[in-house]
Amino acid sequence: MDRIELFADGACLGNPGPGGWAYLLRKPGKEKLWGGRDRYTTNNRMELIAVIKGLEVLKSPRVVHVVTDSRYVIDGMTSWIANWKAQGRMDKSGSKPVKNIELWQKLDELCQKHEVTWEWTKGHAGHPENERVDQEASKQALVAKAPREGTNQALD
């Protein structure tokens, strides 16, 4: 089975604010860069959505190596999620649901379909693929910020 590399990043102009996400999927001889946006979101949501969208396009179970600069995503999937599941998807206090629970549940579901490994890379440190997805996510956030054609929205 081919190993797939998934590089993912999210960006937000303000937190919350207009946001963008991007992923780069790579397998031997082929790669795909894709991105999207949300007009009002958080950086953490964009980081999660980037990985989710990348995994969603895989049609069959794969070995996937995810590379991201998000400690939130890495720590969530390699450490925190076991506690969340044991505590009924509640935070440490046990009194509130984990933030972004619907995204964590979707990511967890997707990871059950694939054999996923995780790697953290420092953001803005010259990692070529991380720089590519960062640029695309940032571009998507700028598009999300722009006024929609036909509206009277002013630029910030």
What is the pTM (predicted TM-score) of this model?
0.91
The candidate with the shortest Cα–Cα distance to 81, out of 69, 64, 98, is 98
Q: For the chain, give every domain's residue range.
A: 3-145
Dist CA 101 CA 106 (whole Å): 9
Q: Which residues are catalytic?
A: 9-10, 47, 69, 124, 134
Give the whole-number percent of the chain exceeding pLDDT 70.
Answer: 94
Structural class in CATH, domain 3-145: alpha beta
| Alpha carbon separation from 66 to 70, 92, 124, 132, 144 (Å, rounded) | 11, 26, 17, 15, 26
Residue with tokens 């790697």: 119
Mean pLDDT of 79-94: 84
Mind listing the pLDDT tens digit for each residue in 89-103?
777 788 888 899 999
Query: Quick one: pLDDT at residue 153?
Result: 45
Mind listing the pLDDT tens digit for each residue in 28-70?
999 999 999 999 999 999 999 999 999 999 999 999 999 999 9
Give the whole-number percent of the chain exceeding pLDDT 90.
Answer: 76
The candidate with the shortest Cα–Cα distance to 18, out of 113, 130, 153, is 153
